[in-house]
Amino acid sequence: MASKKYLFLAGAFCLLASYGFSQRVGASYDVKDSSLVPSKRMPQHTEFLNGTYNFPSKPRNQWELGIKGGLFQVSGDVPAQFVSPGFGAHIRKAFGYIFSLRLEYMYGIGKGYSFREAENYAKNPAWGANISDPNQRYSAPQAVTGAGGVRQIVSSQTGSINTPFEHIFYNYKTKVQDLSIEGVVTLNNIRFHKSKTGFNFYGFAGIGGSIYDTKVNALDGSSKYNFNAINQAAYKNRKDFIKNMKNDVLDDSFETPAENQGDRRPKLFGDTFKPSGTVGAGVAFKLSNRLNLAIEDRWTFIKDDLLDGQRWQEAAWGDATLTRDFDSYNYLSVGLNINLGAKSVEPLWWLNPLDYAYSEIRNPRLMRLPKPVLPDTDGDGITDQFDREQTPAGCPVDSHGVSLDTDGDGVPDCKDKELITPTYCQPVDADGVGKCPVPCPDEKCFEGFIKQANDCATLLGALPSVSFKAGSNKLSDDTKAVLATVASKLRNNPGCKVVVVGYCSSSKKEQQLSWDHVNAVINHMVDKEGISQDRFIFNYGQEGGDCNTVDLRAAGEGEEGPNRVEPPHPNLRKN
């Protein structure tokens, strides 16, 4: 019988495993979602989001409600019938990703039939009340076979034949109910190579209470059964013998209360009550985030030997002693579990607690990354790996960490007492002060010179154009040499600015390329030639010129414009 039960379990497992392994495994919950966090854990959640606590708070998770049905069996002195029904229900709540508690109710109906002839039935009141003289039977322990093969009892005192030997075959029907609280341990939801799984293995154990009511089928109406008509030797196996006995001899009344411990026994609702302990294991297959199908097998143990209504050993005639073991019962079930709860995640035994840690390692969103510390020995704001000069404190520098020299007289601005020294007054002394020509007797002699000094177009002269390869914004070596001559003129004329003009704007691609050309020229003049960016006017997307050419010209008197412009289409795909 046990082999049939486990064959049923194996078949159901294989059927559901093929479904469970094919399920898509979804991502876990969003740890930032405050609606999933109960109010008592909000302080931890707030600290976690602020980066002052490393661990996210446990989310509110759903309850599980389960209903189940299956096969119920009593393990006792009388062999159990395999096909006996059982029903149950439970409610379960997670206390962590591994451990959860559930409250379970079970109702089972167990039956059993013995294929062996009983000898010590007189000691059992459910059967002994139906024989002629149970006291006389135990005073004459010797059995002999008389005429016609009928077994008879010979008195030990007189040697006379007293009572014909009666054939008895035990049977029972018991109704069992139990209520237990069980700790459930999940075995496979912590996974290192997968976010979640479509099936769940678990084991459980618990304590509770069981009540049972056992009856035997001892009477055919008001008279006892005649088991003497059964020829046990005529049947090849136990199955055929029990089938014939149920069909030809017994009815299905189970009218006689089985032996119990009388008034000494604790009772509940009129039935025998016993504390019980339960152990078991199961596997659940995920159907959706709300439903799963579970197969379980559980054993329940009680300190009682009367679940099957029989506790007497079948020893030598008259030697009726109690059996040394207690009865138990098994419940193999298939159940449907439903997850209940709004604004909650799935029950935690379906979630992988490593999912958050792995997601932060792979794509950090909440991880606190340390601020990089880069050395800057001279404190000029340019880190040492890019700094070309160890600058004295307080000296303004360019993007390469080189001291600024606005007028190009060789004295850095931080030491130059004459910040802008005209070219005609150079060379200068150590303080950056130039030696200008002796002044004229009156201002008229400087009129032509001053006009020339203020006319940048005259001072800088015609500036060259810069060409790029089609679709490129890289400066060639020849172009860099041309820009070096422009830089030299700007150093000699510190009061002049240059307008950098790029062309074409009929499409997004042309607009961005025009901006790239102008930006490349200005960056080269600032980064490589050391000219201040303030001396350039950024002008792109103009009409009337070649798309691959940038023109440079001296800014007119009073002409102003931005020296830096944001790119028009920074994310434009470049082919």
Tens-binned pLDDT, residue by residue, of the chain (575 aa): 445 555 555 555 455 444 443 333 345 788 888 888 999 999 999 888 888 888 889 999 999 999 999 999 999 989 988 778 999 999 999 999 999 999 999 999 999 998 888 877 778 888 876 554 444 333 333 444 444 444 444 433 344 333 445 678 899 999 999 999 999 999 998 888 888 888 999 999 999 999 999 999 988 888 888 787 777 777 778 888 888 888 888 888 898 899 888 878 888 888 999 999 999 999 999 999 899 999 999 999 999 999 998 887 765 444 556 666 899 999 999 999 999 988 899 999 999 988 888 888 887 777 776 777 888 888 888 888 888 888 888 888 888 888 888 877 788 888 887 878 787 787 888 777 877 776 555 555 555 544 444 578 888 888 889 999 988 889 998 899 889 989 988 988 888 999 999 999 889 999 999 999 999 999 999 998 889 999 999 999 998 889 999 999 999 888 888 989 999 988 876 54
Query: For residue 512, what are the domain limits?
Result: 455-575
- Does the pTM surpass 0.75? The reply is no
Are residues 184 and 301 part of one domain?
Answer: yes
Reference 130, options 227, 235, 50, 250; nearest CA is 227
Helix (H) or strand (E) holding 247: helix 238-248
Query: Is residue 438, in this structure, part of any structural domain at all?
Result: no
Residue 507, domain CATH: 3.30.1330.60
Residue type (1 letter), 296:
E
Structure tokens at 42: 């909000």
- Number of neighbours of residue 304 by Cβ within 10 angstroms: 21
Classify residue 37: in a domain, yes or no: no
- Within a domain: residue 481? yes
Three-state SS annotation for 340-393: ECCCCECCHHHCCCHHHHHHHHHCCCCCCCCCCCCCCCCCCCCCCCCCCCCCCC
CATH number of the structural domain spanning residue 237: 2.40.160.20
Q: Considering 350, 380, 410, which residue would you say is the last residue of a domain? A: 350
Residue 83 and residue 200 share a domain: yes
| Total domains, the chain | 2
Is position 215 within any domain?
yes
On whether residue 244 sits in a domain, the answer given is yes
> Measuring CA to CA, which residue among 81, 83, 88, 80 is closest to residue 107?
88
Decide which of 350, 366, 382 is a domain's last residue. Answer: 350
- Give the strand pairing for 223-224 and 271-286: unpaired
Q: What is the biggest distance separating any 2 CA atoms in the chain, rounded to whole angstroms? A: 173
User: CA-CA distance, 415 to 433, in Å (whole number)?
Assistant: 10
My answer on whether 115 and 261 are in the same domain is yes
Does 328 share its domain with 476? Answer: no
Nearest in space to 274 (alpha carbons), one of 223, 210, 338: 210
Shared-domain flag, residues 324 and 470: no
Tell which of 350, 375, 394 closes a domain: 350
Q: Is residue 459 domain-shared with residue 341, that is, in the same domain? A: no
> Which residues are CB-contacts of 435 (< 8 A; sequence separation ≥ 6)?
425, 427, 428, 429
Whether 26 and 289 have beta carbons less than 8 Å apart is answered as: yes
Among residues 404, 425, 423, the alpha carbon closest in space to that of 415 is found at 404
Domain match, 344 and 483 both: no
**CA distance linking residue 296 with residue 311, whole number of Å:** 29
Residue 138 in domain: no
In a domain, 440, yes or no: no
121 and 268 part of one domain: yes
Query: Is-contact 214 306, C-beta < 8 A?
Result: yes
Residue 502 near residue 541 (C-beta atoms within 8 A): yes
> For residue 240, is it within any domain?
yes
Token readout for 548 is 């691959």
Q: Name every residue whose Cβ is closer than 8 Å to that of residue 108 and which is 6 or more positions away in sequence.
A: 72, 84, 85, 86, 87, 175, 176, 177, 329, 331
